[in-house]
Structures are given as C-alpha cells and as structure tokens.
Structure 1
Amino acid sequence: MAAPPQVGGLADAVFDYAEDDPQRVALGRKDAGGQWRDVTSEAFRDEVLALAKGLIAHGIRFGDRVALISRTRYEWTLFDFAIWSVGAQSVPVYPTSSAEQVHWMLHDAEVVAVMVEHEDHAMTVGSVIDRLPHLKRLWQLDAGAVDELVGAGGTVDDEVVHRHRRAVTPESVATVIYTSGTTGRPKGCVITHASFMFESDTMVARWEPVFHSKPGDEAATLLFLPLAHVFGRMVEIAAVRGRVKLGHQPELSANALMPDLVTFRPTFILAVPYIFEKVFNGARRKAEAEGRAGPFDKAVDIAVKYAEALEQKAFGLGPGPSAGLRMQHQFFDKVVYKKVRDAMGGRVRHAMSGGSGMNRRLGLFFAGAGVTVFEGYGLTESTAAATANPPERTRYGTVGLPIPGTSVHIADDGEVWVHGPNVFSGYLNNPVATRTALEDGWLATGDLGSLDEDGYLTITGRKKELLVTSGGKSVSPAGLEERVRAHPLVAQCIVVGNDRPYIAALVTVDQESVDHWLTMQGRTPLAPADLVRDPDLEMEVRRAVVAANTAVSQAESIRTFRILAHPFTEEHGLLTPSLKLKRRAIETAYAVEVDALYH
C-alpha cells in the first residue's frame, strides 16, 4: 500500500520528475502532421511553469476554480498541472454537456475562468454567461489560448508560482468532478490532492510490473478515456507520478482509436469494456470475411480454456493447461492471437477495464490471447478504483479485491460500502447528499454486490435500478443486459418491467456488425426501418435473449423484446458521457415501444 502523502500536492510530481530525470520522455504529443513527437520531463515542466505564470497574470488565485471543457488532449494535462501549480482547483466538464448542464456546474462551483477546446464550447458558455456572475475569463485552445497565457506570464517571476505550489497541502482541494447524473442533477464531488495521490500511487505500486510489455522496456499508455471522468483523470496523474510515457487520443470511437494504438504502440491500456468488445468483434468479422470463422471460433474456445486452466492453477484448484491444450494454444497464437494483439499496437500485454461490467468469457479470451485484462470497480466518490484484480490471481467476471489500504463491506441490503484514503470529502454545497453518502468515513456506493470466499467483489446491479414486477419479483437488470449484449450483433440492451407483469427488453444493434452479417449471407444492407422487421435478425437477437435467460429464474427472464431502429446516444440525452444508459430518459423517449411490449 502507498503511504498517505504528508506534504505537497499533485503538481510537485512534474517538478520532481524534471529535476531527477530531465531528458526522459514523459509524454507523446501529435504534431500538426499527425506524427507523434516526444516531450521530455524537463520540456513538460517548463510548459507547465510558463502556463502557471500566465494563469497568475490573468488573475487566477489560490483556491480559485477553473473549468476545463475539452476532449482528451495534451493541453488538458498541461492545464491541470498548471492549475495545481498555483493552488487553484480544476472543474472538468464533459464537452458534450448541454448549456443548462454547463450553467449548473459553473454556477454551483463558482468558477472564475473556463478553458474550452473550440468555438462550439465557447458559444455554449457564452449562451449562459449572463447567469454566471463569478466568471471573469474564457480561453479557447483552438484560438491560441496557451500562447496567449504564456505571453501574459512572461513578466511573472518563477518564484511566484513556486510560492503558490509550496502552499498546497495534501488536504487542499484538487478538483471538483461532477457525477454523470444518470438520475437528477449532477453533484460536485470534492476530491483532495491526498485522495488522488493515494489512489494513483497505490495503483502504480501494486500494478507497475504489468505496465510493461516485457521486463526492462519503457512503460507507455495511450489515454483515450474522457479526462472529464475520474478514471481518465487517475490515469493522467498516475502516468506523471509513475513516470509512464503518456499519449492522448480525443476519440473514444474504435475507428479513430485503432490507428493511434498502432502508431503510439502503448505497453498497456486502460479502457472500458466497449473497447475490448470492439477489438474482439472486429477480429471476428475479419476472420469471417476471409472464410476463417470456424478456425477463429476454435481459437476463441482454446483461449478461454487455456485462461481458465491458468486461473484454476492460480487459485490452487488445478494443474494448469494440459500438454495438448498448450500445443493448440501455441498454434493459434501465431495465426489468431497475434493479430488481436497487433490491432492494439502489438506491445499491449496487460490492460485495466472499468466503468461497467465485462463479460467473463471476453476477459478469458483476451487473457488466453496474451492480453490480461484486470477488471476493477470504483466511482467518482472513491477517486476511481476501489477494487481491482491482482496481477497474480485474476478472477475473471469479478472486479477483484479492495485495492491496498481500502476496505469493502456488503450491507444487509446488499449495498457495497467502501472505506479508505481515496474516499472523497463530500458533495460541494450539498450537505444532505453528503450525509446520505458518507457515514463514519464509509461511502455508500448505491451499487449492489457480493463478496466470494476469497474476498473478490462481484457487482450485481444498482440499488436505484432494481425492477419490481407487478407480481412482486425483484430483478437487477445489469446482468441480463450484459449477457444479451454479448451477442456480436447487439449494441445495447435495456431491460424494463417495473410494475409490469413480466420482464421485457429494448435492443439496439451494432450497424457495422449487422452490415457484415448481411454481406456474409449474400444480402444487401438494409435501411434501419426494414432491419427491425427482418425475421433473420430477430432470430439472432432471440438467441441472445434465450442465452441470457439461462442464467436466471423464469420470473426474472426476458419474455419479449423489441429491436429499435437507432442506438441510444449521448446527443439524444439517452447515455451519460461515460456511456451508461439513462434509464428514465430511455423509458420516457420510448414509452410507446415499451407499452407495446405488454399488449
């Protein structure tokens, strides 16, 4: 376990790094031509210092709050550490937030300045600026904000920044991160420098060996998670504190991400299950198009069995893979698994997954294919991970053990409670919500879960999301939805049935996979309206539903479903920025379709 820090703040790591190892490559940054360029720790320190001087010149003072509205890019990390260098607090805002959401967060946090990425964001802020009396400054990255600030700070002495930086203590507030707001208004989670330092240092100390592709190489990771999300923020901080080369990629879509994985060549990645599903489905489609679907499925089966045998051995329950299984595994490593690894840049051997549950079989496949995915669990309120699978004893399908220094308790009603130095201070301006969430330092997560005999946590659902049928049966939808989504043609699934006679589901399909599936059948792509009535597609989705139902009782099973023409999107207010379903919003938007499931 990493010892809780006694002095200093997050920005110190930038200055210590440059002092200790000035020529080491700290970050990778894309130039205007799309080529990756190295940034040394010394060069990054100089940029942070110059920007921090500019913030002071523009009137930013110790304790002020500065909002960041941007996708994941180099300048966000630069601003974060410059803000912390002057003792100010950053307030991350998702770039897809509506004007009303932006107003609420900036007003609630009494933000004095905003850094936006481009003109659209500037216009969003501009539309509510008359209701933000504290807001004094707005900088736009794509309009030369960094150069403007650096120029303004030219007359400020370096020592002024250092005085501010030395005044920061571990108990100082580092950031206010607003929850995604799946229900109601987002709440501002107040997170200290100490919580982030403990969290990132613990993750580095416990998992550092797996950051490398092979012993002795330099660790590197490509960050494509949103920096407005606590998971992405933890990766940013851990990379700087753990001296891991960090690159940024602004698009979470597979099409934009995959080429950058190949050119940046990370040694490990941190992602959400969606990314691993995309890699897997893409590999399977490619094999099918080449007429090799049979061998690919066989390779998947061998990978799963191989990983399962190693898992059994790690827990003292078996001898490991047999000689025959090892031979088959070796054969498929060259013809299948290597291609899967190459799709992620070729050097990734380990990854961490969070944000939502990962299918156990998918996790086993990747492990068998040479990329061990350590699944973890956490919230904004726990400064990212509260639990994670340990490198030497990974139990697939669970979210692992409490990270060193934290504790997990299951309450009488099945709710997961977390305790540790990574637990937040409370919600900004909201003592009632803080009292509800925190009791004697324990965080009531709102998630339901169970601990197995070895202390591994499995998340079974959300307390607020439990469905109760009119027959009185309680059903947690998350497990069912995850199993339906395991089908390659299914993109999303939402289970409904609250106060209804039985459980039903709305399903959206993965357009790319469906187009490929139709092509393999010798059929032409269909328009969305025709697709939802296609009997063959309905049969495929029915298979997914039947497979999901085998894991639950008849009363909990999905009796009927409907395929929708379009996916749930963030733009339509149906997903949070971290891609979680907004259940109430979806049920309202599709009220007619839901009603039709019961008539």
Structure 2
Amino acid sequence: MKEASTPLIVELPAESNITDLLLERVRADPQAALYERKIAGQWEPVSAQNFLEQASSLAKGLIASGISSGDAVAVMSGTRYEWSVLDFAIWLAGAVTVPIYETSSRSQIEWILADSGARLVVVEDAGKLEQLRGVISTSALLGQGPISLWCIEDDGDSPHLSALAAVGSGVSEAELEAARSTATLASVASVVYTSGTTGRPKGCEITHGNFALVAKNAIPFLPELLATGNTRALMFLPLAHVLARAVQVICLASGTTLGHSGSVKELLADLGDFRPTFLLVVPRIYEKVQEAAQLKAEESGRGRIFAWASSTAVRYSQALDARSRGLAGPSPLLRTRHWVFDKLVYAKLRQTFGGQARYTVSGASALGEQQAHFFRGAGIAVLEGYGLTESTAPCTVNTPEHTRVGTVGIPLPGTTIRIADDGEVLVKGIGVFKGYHANQAATSEAFVEDFFRTGDLGSLDSDGFLTITGRKKELIVTAGGKNVSPGPLEAALRNSPLISQAVVLGEGKAFVSALLTLDVAAFERWRVQHGLSVELRQADSSAPLRAELQLAVDAANSTVSRAESIRAFAVLPEDFSVESGQLTPSLKVKRATVLSDYQSVVDRLYPKP
C-alpha cells in the first residue's frame, strides 16, 4: 500500500481557537478538576473555573505589559503546573508561545529569542533568570529592543508572576475578550523549535487549528483512553516538547485530570500517589521500569520466576497480535500460564505505574518490540505512535482496538500517510504545521504536492499500519554500496538489558560497526553476578563482558543480511546524556555529536591500512 487515510471526525469553526476548548470545559462543569497540583507533597484539585481565572489574570498582565496579538512570549521551565497556566494565558492574550528547553545552551537560547522576536520571557527560577540576563546583555543578535523577564518561583527578589498579574489589574474583561478572539484556527499558536539533532534549530509554526483539531479528533479516536469518565494522566515529559503540549491540550479537551511531575527522582512516588489511568511515555522509561523489576526479582531470589513471566508475557502478546491478523490466538496452556503470572508478577509491575494505568502511549522515539510485547502481555497496553514537531506530534497511533506491535499504527482522523517512491514517509492533515518561522526556503523544500516530507523511511501494510524502517538522512551506505538503516539495528541492540544506547555507523566503510553504552544498574548487577571487579570505564577491555554483548550483537545481526551486520563494536566509558549534549531533551541520540565526541574510538574501529 502506498497511501492510507482516516476521515476527519470532528470539525471546528474557522473563527475558533484553542482557548474555546477551555471555555467549553468551564461551561460544561466549572467545578470539574481539570488539573491536580502537587503542593507540600499533596495533590490538590484545580477546577476549570479556577484555572481559567488564573490564566486570565496572567493574560491581563501580559496585555498590560504591551503584549498584543501575534507577539511571541517565551517560556523556559521544567514540567510544572504553572507551564500550563502560562500557555493558556499567552493564548488568551492573543499571543504566541515559544517554548525553550531548560537544558538549552546559551547559543540556542540566543538564537530562539532572536529568531522568534520574543519580547517577554518567563523562566522557572532565579538561576534561569540570571542565565537569561547574561544572554541578553551580551548578545549581538538581540538588538530589537528590551526583553521583559519574569520568574515562576518567588524568591522574594525576582520579578514574580504574581506581580505580572497585578500589572494587569486595570485590563477589563472586554479588552481580554478582544485579545482572545483575535486568533483563529489559522493563527499561529506556538513556534516550537526543533531540538536540533543536526544544524541550527528551525522554528515550526504550530497553529491553533493544529492543536485544537488534533485534540478534538483524538477523543473519539481513542475513547478507551479519553472518553471513559474519571480519566487521569500524569505528565513528566518536557513541556517544551510539542508532543507533551499536544497531549496536554487533548487532556483539557477531553476533561482528563492532568498532573505534572517535574522530577525523574519523584516520578515513581508521584505515579503511586496520582494513580493515572493512562500515561505518555518515552521508550527509555519502559526499559528502566523493566530493568528495575528484573533487578528487584533477582535480588529477592525470584529471578527465574521473573524470566519465565517475561517470556510468557511476550509470547502472550505475540499471540494477541497473531489473532488480530486472523491467525490463532493464545493457546489454553498459554492463557493458564499468563493467568498464574498475572497474580505473581504482572499485578506488581502494574503498581509501578500507579495501579490504574491500563494504557500507555509511546512516542518521541522508536520502541523495541520486546518491550512493547512484554508490557502488553503484563496488562499495560503500549500504543506506539509516530509524529514530528512539524506534525504537532501524533499523526499515526495504534489504538486499543487496532494494534500491531512493531508498527506505529494507523493515521489519526483527518490525516493521510503516503509512501514516496524512494520509501520516504509523507504526511498531510490537520496536524501538519504552517511552515518554518521566517524561513520560506526551508518551508518550500519540506513539502511536495502539499505533503510534508518527514525524512523518515517506512512502509504501509494492507490495513494501513505504518512501520518506520529508518531515517532517510541517516541511511548508511557502506564502501560496498550496501544501504543500511541504523534504526532497527539500534533498537534490536537495546533489547539487551545491559545496553542503554547504541549508535550504528559505517558510512563509506568496509563494514558496519556500533558504539554501545551500558546501563549502569544492569552493568553493576552483571558484574556482581560474575564476580568481576571491572569498572565501567574499563568495560571495553573486559573479555567476559564483550562476550556477553556479542550475544546481543548476534541477535541484532540475525534480523539483517550479512552485508548489513555489525562486525565490530566498542563500549563507551559513560552513557549519553542531555547535559553532555549527546541526547536531545526528548532523549533522542544526536548522532553527529556522538560521532564527533568519540572520533578516536571510531578511528580504532576502522584502523587505517
């Protein structure tokens, strides 16, 4: 199949905008808990009416500060409740939100502020405030006038949001409504800068229609998640990422109570206290949860039971997949084993996610099939989806009714997926952005026949399920002329509990190789089990460890031809991180940065004759 579409379910008036979704929730039930906010360790509900009042108060402050229709307002903060309030305050003021990752470098901040023309910036704390002041005072790019700075946290000295709200006390409701109603579905709601795995970030203009139409159509498309009543979601991904903000708008439109967890250290505790009914998760979280559960089982002497339970979960999920394709489903014996392990193992695993989450949505990067089968078999369905910043994140997703593990699902309503002759995935529909901010050349290059060129390679099966097979620009061409897609090999390598990250390389080389990083906890467990004193920085020279990793390499190689197989690998002395610049904030590997940082290691893999 070369093209697949899903018809639009919900249309919206052209003159409406995202804030109409909030007003709709308030009219439906002003006292309904749109959010729960963690204060002094306790989750406290925030009603729709209260949220509207808070956002309106800040919107008036923005208007009084000189922000008018179409102006850019930047937000640089971790994931927290105030981010949501600010987003809607900016939209109520008729302005445009420009998110900045809290981990952004000085040059990235400077470029985003200059390119977007932001005249007002809200930062999280005093530390970020000083960082922004330093950037602004010394920048050669920011010469277009003063930039007003405000702070979310109140330390007694910084310009706090309460002061911004006070500034707007003289703005009338009529003035606020006039500002709010200036935006239409076609208006830009946010300029979201690509996280920049390569090159300078480009600003993607996401419209009110992109956010609102995706939200309103996701609800009937995923009723099991969003339309069952008393739905709850906990957000811990960076709100600077378009996927997190798209899901946030979806939650508001569906009446899902949303909480925020801004610390990875507190996440497990927050999941237990908040008890979400569904979660938005990135693949690394699944891997961490599975590894932690395995470690706990082994330390308690139940490692063999956990291994049997894992194998049963995967086989059970694979049988469900077979049944969806018209083949035989789980056998009676497999169903019995699954029932036993559900009592012994799976129920405890589900408690890790709070005990109520029956569905998780995986996005941001590719998820390994083993993890997807394991969690679905354990009673937590993994609905893998696909999208980009330019498509307002989700453009395809597996649904509870239509799931095929290994694919990224079918198109969302109002979306068409096309496979070009060279295998590139093209997308057209309600989520596709307006264009790149102030960059018409890049915008023109990104489209062909009204379809956005994703740069990803993929295929569609006979039922319209999309499978991503690689990245067009990352396609490796060996010296022998063999095309190798690194993505599937890297995902297969990460199936090993020992391997945290993998980067496959071999452009212009005689063979394919890989750079591997180790999961610290898994490595420590393996080292103790084998009675070895080797440290992480010495891992590459450990013969027993390399033999263990070779098994993972062999398993990955079994999925490709000999010409595409990995012939050599190196173990790096530390894992990739956002702080090192080797991962994007959404935990995607920056291949160019990794290859540059470890050029000497690459040279050893390919010694000169």
8 A contact 2:500–2:519 mirrored in 1: yes
Match of 2:259 in 1: 247
Q: How far apart are 1:457 and its partner, in Å?
A: 0.7
Measure the CA separation in 2 of the matches of 1:187 and 1:438: 15
Counting only pairs closer than 5 Å after superposition, residues 75-474 of structure 1 correspond to structure 2 as: 75-130=82-137, 131=139, 132=142, 133-143=144-154, 145-211=160-226, 216=229, 218-251=230-263, 253=264, 255-318=265-328, 320-474=329-483
Measure the CA separation in 1 of the matches of 2:299 and 2:266: 22
Measure the CA separation in 1 of the matches of 2:320 and 2:488: 25
Q: How far apart are 1:332 and its partner, in Å?
A: 0.6
Amino acid across the alignment from 1:139: W
Amino acid across the alignment from 1:429: A
Q: TM-score, normalised by structure 1?
A: 0.96
Measure the CA separation in 1 of the matches of 2:150 and 2:220: 37
Match of 2:553 in 1: 545
Q: How far apart are 1:545 and its partner, in Å?
A: 0.6
Q: How far apart are 1:145 and its partner, in Å?
A: 2.2
Measure the CA separation in 2 of the matches of 1:593 and 1:309: 42
8 A contact 1:111–1:135 mirrored in 2: no
1:514 paired to 2:523: yes
Amino acid across the alignment from 2:223: E
Measure the CA separation in 2 of the matches of 1:34 and 1:232: 23
Q: Larger deviation: 562-571 or 337-346?
A: 562-571
Measure the CA separation in 1 of the matches of 2:538 and 2:323: 50
Aligned alpha-carbon RMSD (Å):
1.5
Measure the CA separation in 2 of the matches of 1:502 and 1:124: 45
Q: How far apart are 1:119 and its partner, in Å?
A: 2.5
How has the CA–CA distance of structure 1 residues 562 and 295 changed in structure 2, closer, same or farther, with 3 Å as cutoff? same
Q: How far apart are 1:12 and its partner, in Å?
A: 2.0
Q: Aligned residue pairs: how many? A: 591
Measure the CA separation in 2 of the matches of 1:225 and 1:208: 23
Helix, strand or coil at the partner of 1:532 = helix
Q: Larger deviation: 188-197 or 17-26?
A: 17-26
Match of 1:505 in 2: 514
Q: TM-score, normalised by structure 2?
A: 0.95
Counting only pairs closer than 5 Å after superposition, residues 559-578 of structure 1 correspond to structure 2 as: 559-578=567-586
Deviations 1:491-542 (A, max 9, x none): 1111111111111111110111111222334556x53323332222212211
1:490 paired to 2:533: no
Deviations 1:114-168 (A, max 9, x none): 0111223222322221432244311111236221112222222222111211222
8 A contact 2:226–2:254 mirrored in 1: no
Measure the CA separation in 1 of the matches of 2:594 and 2:208: 37
Helix, strand or coil at the partner of 1:142 = coil
Helix, strand or coil at the partner of 1:127 = helix
Counting only pairs closer than 5 Å after superposition, residues 17-96 of structure 1 correspond to structure 2 as: 17-31=25-39, 33-96=40-103
Measure the CA separation in 2 of the matches of 1:530 and 1:437: 45
Measure the CA separation in 2 of the matches of 1:104 and 1:121: 16
Measure the CA separation in 1 of the matches of 2:441 and 2:225: 41
Higher relative contact order (CA 8 A, sep 6+): 2
Helix, strand or coil at the partner of 2:153 = helix
Match of 2:3 in 1: none
Deviations 1:344-402 (A, max 9, x none): 10000001101111111211111111111110000011111111112212000100111
8 A contact 1:531–1:537 mirrored in 2: yes
Match of 1:475 in 2: 484
8 A contact 1:72–1:250 mirrored in 2: yes
8 A contact 2:57–2:165 mirrored in 1: yes
**Aligned residues: percent identity?**
45
Measure the CA separation in 2 of the matches of 1:263 and 1:518: 34
Q: Specify every segment of 5 or more residues in structure 2 that has no aligned partner in the other structure, as ranges.
A: 1-7
How has the CA–CA distance of structure 1 residues 502 and 135 changed in structure 2, closer, same or farther, with 3 Å as cutoff? farther
8 A contact 1:2–1:198 mirrored in 2: no
Measure the CA separation in 2 of the matches of 1:205 and 1:179: 29
Measure the CA separation in 2 of the matches of 1:483 and 1:153: 55
Deviations 1:178-210 (A, max 9, x none): 011111110000111011111111212211323
